[in-house]
Amino acid sequence: MTPNNEQSNGHDRENQSVVNNPDYIYLSPLASLPKRFGKRFELDGGVEIALFQVDGNVYAVNNVCPHQKFSILYEGEREEHTITCPMHGWKFDIRSGKCLEGGNAELRTYPVLVEEGNIYIKRPEPDVPKWME
């Protein structure tokens, strides 16, 4: 098992195979992930994910730009560890989800593992509205 972005995303990784682990969802072979752009995936429950490959690491963020809710970040311009929304230019760090230009909203990031050349994402926890926390 090869953990990706363990340090950059700050997510803990279990030391076990993800192939039969119900906490992880298979997404795609690593070889099918574009190097220059992102790739869009829709998980159960309608959660849209954008995957990016940078220097051999795979990063997953919510594909919906928080500015005006367009599901388009996977098509954005990527430079190193940033993605720029093609609609209005908001720029995000794909390692942390932090907005670097345009506003102060953040993207949700997701733990990703690559095992035997396949990409897995940790099953997202449901979003809980702030007022319910």
Residue 58 has pLDDT above 50, yes or no: yes
Structure tokens at 56: 């051999």
Examine residue 129 and state whether it is found in any structural domain, yes or no: no
% of residues, the chain, pLDDT over 70: 81
- Identify the band that residue 53 occupies on the pLDDT scale cut at 50, 70 and 90: very high
- Output the domain CATH number for residue 90: 2.102.10.10
Give the number of domains in the chain.
Answer: 1
Examine residue 95 and state whether it is found in any structural domain, yes or no: yes
Q: Kindly report the average pLDDT of the chain as a whole number.
A: 81
Q: What is the pLDDT of residue 3?
A: 43
Residue 123 has pLDDT above 90, yes or no: no
Examine residue 62 and state whether it is found in any structural domain, yes or no: yes
Q: How many angstroms separate the CA atoms of 133 and 128, rounded? A: 7
- Identify the band that residue 119 occupies on the pLDDT scale cut at 50, 70 and 90: very high
Specify the DSSP element, H or E, that contains 27. strand 24-29
- Domain of 51 in residue numbering reads as 2-124
Residue 15 has pLDDT above 60, yes or no: no
Q: How many angstroms separate the CA atoms of 61 and 23, rounded? A: 17
pTM metric for this prediction: 0.78
- Top-confidence residue, 126 or 80: 80
Examine residue 72 and state whether it is found in any structural domain, yes or no: yes
Q: What is the Rg, in whole angstroms, of the alpha carbon atoms belonging to the chain? A: 14
Q: What is the pLDDT of residue 126?
A: 65
From the list 128, 121, 116, 125, the residue with the least C-alpha distance to 40 is: 121
Residue 56 has pLDDT above 50, yes or no: yes
